[in-house]
Structure 1
Amino acid sequence: MNLKSLNNNKKMTVINGSHFSNLEGFYEEISELFIKDEGWKVGTLDGFDDILYGVNSDITWKNSQKSKEDLGFDLTKEFYENKIRQGKPFNVELIQQKLNDLIEGNGQNLFEILIEIIESHKNITLILD
């Protein structure tokens, strides 16, 4: 089997950044695209990672620049602060370190974390559009 026929077996999926402006909206978009008929929705980063196992797809993230801004520093800071406020079951020390790294300019924002999760799945090709 040549590479061309392998690629023909890949599904095409489009994440549309104009459909959401926060993490909850991203989860809604992803749930609609990947687990529409499953009876549950993605609600965490781990859950997002989990549904990508077994996915063989070219994913185009349309309006990715908008998502990069929407899921950037401010939303990420708020995301970490909310987890710290909640406390258990979260590892508050680890999350505080991630927040400190973010504030110091060394940490990842939510957009970068989502990209990293997608790119960790070898059967997925990500195209930022």
Structure 2
Amino acid sequence: MESNTSNNNKKKMIVINGGHFSDLTEFYEEISNILMKNAGWKAGTLDGFNDILYGGFGVFENGQEVELIWKESQKSKSDLGFNATREFYERKIRQGKPFNIELIQQKLDELISGKGQTLFDILIEIIEDHKNITLILD
């Protein structure tokens, strides 16, 4: 049997609850409250969410093994699905600069044709890009 002498190597368990949010702005609020307690800033973009997941300035250290449990993930999959994603892209297209309108239009076209990712898919992909984080959809 292996002895675990260091608590730093213990896997950190983090739970986010899809029942606590119903759109991307509320998701950022929830994830910031859970992962960035007392850090003084919040995620407000997909890039910001990705940055938080590197750790080191929130509730887990850089590279620390994390088990992220997403409760009510089916609700989130619906909330952050086709309609929310279409609105997300359309809002960026209306705003224009600094966004790459051609790229966003392409992503919107892919979404409408059934080939594109929803916001939920994008969030999952961002999480799964961090090899130290194990995602469990509950």
Partner of 1:25: 26
Say which structure is richer in helix: 1
Cα RMSD for the two superposed structures: 1.6
Q: Using the TM superposition, give the Cα deviation of residue 56 of structure 1 relative to its aligned residue in structure 2, in angstroms.
A: 3.1
Q: Do structure 1's residue 56 and structure 2's residue 84 form an aligned pair?
A: no
Partner of 2:104: 95
Q: Secondary structure at the match of 1:59?
A: strand
Q: Using the TM superposition, give the Cα deviation of residue 22 of structure 1 relative to its aligned residue in structure 2, in angstroms.
A: 0.1
TM-score of the pair, normalised by structure 2: 0.87
Q: Distance in 2 between matches of 1:72 and 1:97?
A: 17
Correspondence 1:82-121 to 2 at 5 A:
82-121=91-130
Q: Distance in 2 between matches of 1:26 and 1:116?
A: 15
Q: Distance in 1 between matches of 2:50 and 2:42?
A: 13
TM-score of the pair, normalised by structure 1: 0.93
Runs of 4+ residues deviating >2 angstroms: none
Partner of 2:46: 45
Q: Using the TM superposition, give the Cα deviation of residue 36 of structure 1 relative to its aligned residue in structure 2, in angstroms.
A: 1.6
Amino acid at match of 2:15: V
Amino acid at match of 1:38: A
Larger Rg: 2
Q: Distance in 2 between matches of 1:119 and 1:29?
A: 19
Q: Deviations over 1:7-55 (max 9, x none)?
A: x611000010000000001001100111121111110000000110125
Q: Distance in 1 between matches of 2:71 and 2:50?
A: 20
Partner of 2:58: none
Q: Distance in 2 between matches of 1:26 and 1:74?
A: 16
Amino acid at match of 2:37: K
Percent identity over the alignment?
69
Amino acid at match of 1:102: L
Q: Distance in 1 between matches of 2:87 and 2:14?
A: 29
Q: Distance in 1 between matches of 2:52 and 2:16?
A: 15
Paired residues, number: 126
Q: Distance in 1 between matches of 2:39 and 2:65?
A: 18
Q: Unaligned stretches of 5+ in structure 1? A: none
